[in-house]
């Protein structure tokens, strides 16, 4: 894991990132969650709809259809 950005009552808050990613994550942290995910998805070349999958959606997709070899998700 190169970077971590989380915020919420269950997980607490954290922003850990190498110097090259820190400004991007700091900007994302200031946004509402959906907008933050979209901004990060754009930076890493992910389709926004794929980036917005919830964890439960991810589990369901894995059970029913399988997942691509490389899956990036935010929890």
Q: What is the DSSP string of 14-61?
A: EEE--TTTHHHHHHHHTS-HHHHHHHHHHHHT--HHHHT--HHHHHHH
Q: What is residue 52's predicted lDDT score, i.e. its pLDDT? A: 66
Q: Which residue has the higher pLDDT, 56 or 45?
A: 45
- Give the mean pLDDT of 45-64: 68
């Amino acid at each position: 894991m190169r970077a971590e950005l989380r915020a919420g009552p269950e997980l607490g808050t954290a922003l850990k990132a190498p110097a090259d990613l820190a400004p991007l994550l700091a900007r994302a942290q200031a946004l509402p969650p959906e907008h933050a995910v979209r901004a990060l998805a754009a930076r890493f070349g992910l389709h926004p709809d794929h980036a917005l999958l919830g964890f439960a959606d991810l589990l369901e997709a894995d059970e029913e259809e399988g997942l691509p070899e490389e899956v990036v998700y935010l929890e």
